[in-house]
Structure 1
Amino acid sequence: MSNKKGFTSTILHSDRNLKPEFGALHQPVHTSVTWGYEDVKGLLDVFQNKAGGFAYSRQGNPTVIALEHKITQMEQGMATVAFSTGMAAITSVMLALVKAGDHIIASKFLFGNTRNILHTFSDMGVEISYVDATSVENVEAVYKENTRIVFVETIANPGTQIADLERIGSFSREKSILYIVDNTMSSPYLFRPVLVGAGLVINSLTKYIGGHGDALGGSVTDTGLFRWSDYANITETMRLQIKPELLGITQIRKRGLRDGGGTLSPEAAHSISVGSETIALRLDRICSNAMRVALFLQSLSGVKEVNYPGLVGHPEHTLASKLFKSYGGLMSFVLEEGIDSITFLNKLQLIIKSSNLGENRTLAIPVAQTIFHELGAARRAEMGIDESLIRLSVGIEDIQDLLDDLGQALA
């Protein structure tokens, strides 16, 4: 029998293959905050990175480590660090790897909270250039000698723009820039950023990987493609103690997770790990439903515009078809003039008015008045966010029930 297993088989048996105690099929929930050693040398070796093990749960816990192992397998990476939320993961990467005077190139379509935290770092002396990342030429145009990072998302939330992932990866490799790809909207089931040269991959585990709306979490995966020995912001202490290929992920774990404190709880790690086992089943259903919903919305006379990569008219439809296994569960749409989006949303009976996405239930939210409210009208316009835009995260309900609910609300 081949040692290479399929996506679902690999993650389904991931915990068991780590040999949990008593033959458990899942890694148990280890709630201990700290660990004791009979010989203090064992404790010293853990602190000094000379041996694996645990000292304090803020920076490592057996339940969380098992989830990290599973995410690494999903992303076909080298190592993963898990965090309390996706935003904690993004913030910790910046804390660990960026200094005042550095330059970051970022997609102008980034999720609002991600853009907000980058704005906070710009207040601290980090220069940020926001570009239309659907074309690599826009990235090339703002490149500088002090450019350290290019940061993009696979599919933008909520406009569904798709970054020029392959060509940005090639450019980043050519210039020795750290290429960070947020894979949350596509998930490692639909797409693996390692295939386009990403050095780090970020996931909000809260979304499709966990999938059940019952646990917050985030992760950063090192793909093993980036030469960390060339990265200017690795500390000298780290260079002396850590293998070159582990410099980046170790600095993220130490300076980002340990010092930043965005620790994922073992209870949440367990929920996410169990939820992840059905990601392929859930996303197959979600993507099928989403395609039907997008076509249905496009056919309705009261709908002005539908943004979904699966639609032939989407600007990056061809690119999405080339890169992704399917087109995901996120879409957005604008109603015709004279139809109030809030009234429409209030008429929905099955679809839930909620701010989350990527879970089993279909969720809808008005974008400008909620998740992008703080950015202001001018920045929303720059990002192409209509003031009446509605975001829809499609779930696994029976498709006819979803279509009926949308139809009656519009009627």
Structure 2
Amino acid sequence: MKPLSDNRALRTDNLHSDRRFGVEHGGIHKPIHTSVQYAFDRVEDLIGAFQGTYKGGYQYARQGTPTTAALEARITALEDGVGTVCFATGMGAIAATFLTLLRAGDHLVASRYIFGNTNSLLDTIGGLGVAVDKVDACSVEAVAAAIRPETRMVFVETIANPRTQVADLAGIGQLCRERGLIYVVDNTITSPALFRPRTVDASLVINSLTKTIAGHGEALGGAVTDTGLFDWARYPNIFPAYRKGDAQAWGLLQIRKKGLRDMGATLASDQAHRIGIGSETLALRMKQSCSTALALARWLEQHPKVGAVHYPFLPSHAQHERATTLFTAGSWLLSFELRDPSSMVHVLNRLSLPLKATGLGDTRTLVIPVAPTIFWEAGPEARAMMGIAEGLIRVSIGLEDEADLIADFNRALE
């Protein structure tokens, strides 16, 4: 297992990435471009921008600005991809991917262990004529069994929120490569600091930039990155208008045009700037928060009032060996169950450092009772299928001192 964040793109190239194409007026950081309209010196270039023959300018801020382009270049480098499209939120990125690449009559295989809103979105596209099967993605055999002739795409998360199941990422990648399927991996929890989905043959990588990459809870954003591994020339759902030039660019071009331009989930320049600044400390934050998460998970596992702890780098985790092979650390996400579920509210109210809040990947540690909040809409049957106990507590580890955080949990439990 390699050391955390030893990749130069994360430690050095990422820090200077917004200066790679030049920065106006010698600024240390890429400035915030607020202009919505963009002008051209020649009308021929304006026409070319619409017809795809002119590559040097911006048309309208809904499709991107110089500030969002700088962030897209940063994310592309982090994920070792060939291109990125940014959106206003992570859900905007996922929705655009599904709605622009799938059509009525197509079939999607998805992990049953996924973020609650993504699960809800899958139900929505099911109502639009796209068949969806939710399977145990920890088993490549389960994914393979669900594939049909009309299957176009497989969607998984790296580490599931909130129960931390780890999909058989490598096995599914090999399966999708052999079957010619689009393999979409949501890398939000791990981020490229811990794992690059390209290494397991992912076609597209999703990041909710709000969380790990920004890391400060001050900006919403999402991204879709093309790894360059999928042959878009063979994909039947690419519109004729986008079957021009290098086929490697077709998929992302369709996502930008149909998903960003037409649907309008545009990332604002000021939000892109905030995310870019936050991403500069990605490697340092992940080193600290992952170390603290592992220490707290180990401590909770030994506590007599705790019945179960779910964290991929604990030897007791069902996918421990897979996680330690794939990831450089176990992430900042953990969850645990009390032996007496009726004490859950009392214990959480006694915590003083963690904030009782929704959301993930902040500088502050956040805690939430899962079943009565973020997975309440799913219902008890769906929660049981996803392995979510009624007394499950999710913890998003921040940057507090490890000893202080453990002491606070000790006070709450005692």
Pair in the same fold by TM > 0.5: yes
Paired residues for 1:41-60 under 5 Å: 41-52=44-55, 53-60=57-64
How many angstroms does 1:338 deviate by? 5.5
The partner residue of 2:322 within 316, 319, 322 is: 319
Q: Distance in 2 between matches of 1:332 and 1:242?
A: 47
Which residue pairs with 1:23 in the alignment? 26
Q: 1:173 matched to which residue of 2?
A: 177
Q: Do 1:330 and 1:394's aligned partners in 2 also have CA atoms closer than 8 Å? A: yes
| Counterpart position of 2:82 | 78
The equivalent of 1:204 in structure 2 is 208
Q: How does 1:101-180 map onto structure 2 within 5 Å?
A: 101-180=105-184
Q: How far is the alpha carbon of 1:16 from its aligned partner?
A: 1.3
SS at 1:377 equivalent = helix
Percent of counterpart pairs with the same letter?
50
Partners of 1:338 and 1:21 in 2: how far apart? Answer: 57
Distance in 2 between residues matched to 1:387 and 1:6, nearest whole Å: 41
Aligned residue in 1 for 2:332: 329
Q: SS at the partner of 1:263?
A: coil
The answer on whether the counterparts of 2:9 and 2:77 sit within 8 Å (CA) in structure 1 is no
Name the Cα RMSD after superposition.
1.0
Counterparts of 1:402 and 1:333, CA distance in 2: 15
* Matched ranges for 1:263-278 at <5 A: 263-278=266-281
Q: Residue by residue, what CA displacement relative to the aligned partner does 1:148-177 show, whole Å, maximum 9, x if unpaired?
A: 000000000001000000010000000000
Is 1:236 matched with 2:251? no
How far apart, in 1, do the equivalents of 2:20 and 2:127 lie?
Answer: 46
Give the whole-Å Cα distance in 2 for the aligned partners of 1:51 and 1:103: 36
Out of 381, 388, 394, the position equivalent to 2:384 is 381
- The secondary structure found in structure 1 opposite 2:61 is coil
What's the offset of the Cα at 1:243? 2.0
Distance change in 2, residues 1:5/1:291 (3 Å): closer
Query: Is the 1:302–1:339 contact (alpha carbons within 8 Å) kept by the matching residues of 2?
Result: no
- Higher deviation after alignment, 176-185 or 339-348: 339-348
- Residue aligned with 1:391, SS: strand
What pairs with 1:333-352 in structure 2 (closer than 5 Å)? 333-337=336-340, 339-352=342-355
Q: Take 1:167 and 1:251, find their aligned partners in 2: how far apart are those partners?
A: 28
Match of 1:183 in 2: 187
**1:131 Cα deviation (Å)?**
0.5
Q: Structure 2: which amino acid aligns with 1:125? A: G
Aligned to 1:285: 288
> What are the superposed Cα offsets for residues 11-35 of structure 1, whole Å, 9 maximum, x if unpaired?
1110112101112221110000111
SS in 2 for 1:12: coil
Which of residues 62, 65, 70 is equivalent to 1:66? 70
Q: TM-score, normalised by structure 2?
A: 0.97
Question: Does the aligned pair in 1 maintain the 2:109–2:134 contact within 8 Å?
Answer: yes
Q: d(CA) in 2 for partners of 1:96 and 1:353?
A: 37
Distance in 2 (alpha carbons) for counterparts of 1:256 and 1:220:
11
CA deviation string 1:282-309 (max 9, x = no partner): 0000011001100111111110000000
1:316-335 Cα deviation digits (max 9, x unpaired)? 00000000011100011110
Q: Is contact 1:16-1:23 (8 Å) kept?
A: no
How much does 1:6 deviate?
4.2
Maintained 8 Å contact 1:15/1:25: no
Aligned residues of 2:10 and 2:282 also touching (Cα < 8 A): no
Q: d(CA) in 1 for partners of 2:101 and 2:355?
A: 39
Gaps of 5+ in 1: none
Q: Kindly tell me: are residues 135 and 338 of structure 1, through their superposed partners in 2, closer, same or farther at Cα, counting changes over 3 Å?
A: closer
Supply the distance in 1 between the matched residues of 2:391 and 2:53 (Cα, whole angstroms). 56
Q: Distance in 2 between matches of 1:326 and 1:210?
A: 18
- Distance in 1 between residues matched to 2:219 and 2:142, nearest whole Å: 37
1:244-281 deviations in Å (ceiling 9; x for gaps): 11000000000000001000000000000000000000
Number of aligned residue pairs: 407
Report deviation, 1:337: 2.3
**Separation (CA, whole Å) in 2 of partners of 1:232 and 1:334:** 46
Structure 1 Cα separation of the partners of residues 77 and 49 of structure 2: 24
Of 401, 406, 409, the match for 2:409 = 406
Amino acid corresponding to residue 111 of structure 2 in structure 1: S
